[in-house]
Structure 1
């Protein structure tokens, strides 16, 4: 299975809806969760995070989401048959990677660890508390904070904020 698909592979997903490819694959992931967990549990814990405002509004309303699911779930099944199981799995996994990248890019606060890896956080306070926790537990197998970092815009470059310490 591939982790990242080329632009050409992504263009050939055979999206059966008029939604963006991202939104279709987000819905496909949700359908997959519904098949495993049931509709209510999947909606409450793994609801789709669409990029289109109209679909976001539907996802925020359990009744509207159920109607969207009932109407479009057969399209996902037909799509799966058309592209084949291996290709569907590759596209599903690539979408999960894309969603994770978007979520991490949205974070404006981070910790650059001594191994160079950057842990990302939504808030400065949570970043600072977690940095202190990691430093207090150094030597227990966790990454070790080196520098607290921030960025001005989502996906922007990290800049040093201050050295990591045990007190925020």
Structure 2
């Protein structure tokens, strides 16, 4: 990727009145619309914006459709100017960043015997999943070693209990 590519994204984000992250989130949503159709993309892959105003827009079906219609041409122009290879790299990097943000935001986890940490949205889900893993253990599958929690997103894990 060349050094000018971030400027291309920033230019289109500014035209849309969005942060760089939100523009790339919108682009990722538009890509899902292309592959899955608008209704399915909204139901299963709705954009998760940083901006509070854009989050409210995403929660309102008419407002999201209007946003999509208004800014979809910018996504197409961005793809054309950046080029497919660069646009794809930026898209994939954004998807990875969004996924990592979700993982970091989770306050509950399961430490497995192989060192892998499974993150969970709630304590109840974590506890249920860990119990289910232990009950249905199969050779070669991960086994829980400890239940984890953290007090802040992305913070250090603390063991709540060991198995």
TM over 0.5: yes
Q: Residue 149 of structure 1: SS of its match in structure 2?
A: strand
Cα distance per residue 1:77-115 (max 9 Å; x no partner): 000011110111111111111111110111111011011
Q: Give the equivalent residue in structure 2 for 1:78.
A: 77
Q: Give the equivalent residue in structure 1 for 2:39.
A: 40
Cα distance per residue 1:33-74 (max 9 Å; x no partner): 111122122112211000100111110111111110111000
Is 1:141 the equivalent of 2:140?
Answer: yes
More helix by share: 2
Number of positions where the alignment pairs a residue of Structure 1 with one of Structure 2: 158
Q: Which runs of 5+ in 1 are unaligned?
A: none
CA distance in 2, matches of 1:14, 1:103: 23
Matches within 5 A, 1:59-74: 59-74=58-73
Q: Residue 14 of structure 1: SS of its match in structure 2?
A: helix
Cα distance 1:13–1:104, how it changes in 2: closer, same or farther (>3 A)?
farther
Q: Taking structure 1 as the reference length, what is the TM-score of the superposition?
A: 0.88
Is 1:17 the equivalent of 2:16?
Answer: no
Q: Give the equivalent residue in structure 1 for 2:26.
A: 27
Cα distance per residue 1:101-133 (max 9 Å; x no partner): 110111111011011110001111110111011
CA distance in 2, matches of 1:155, 1:161: 17
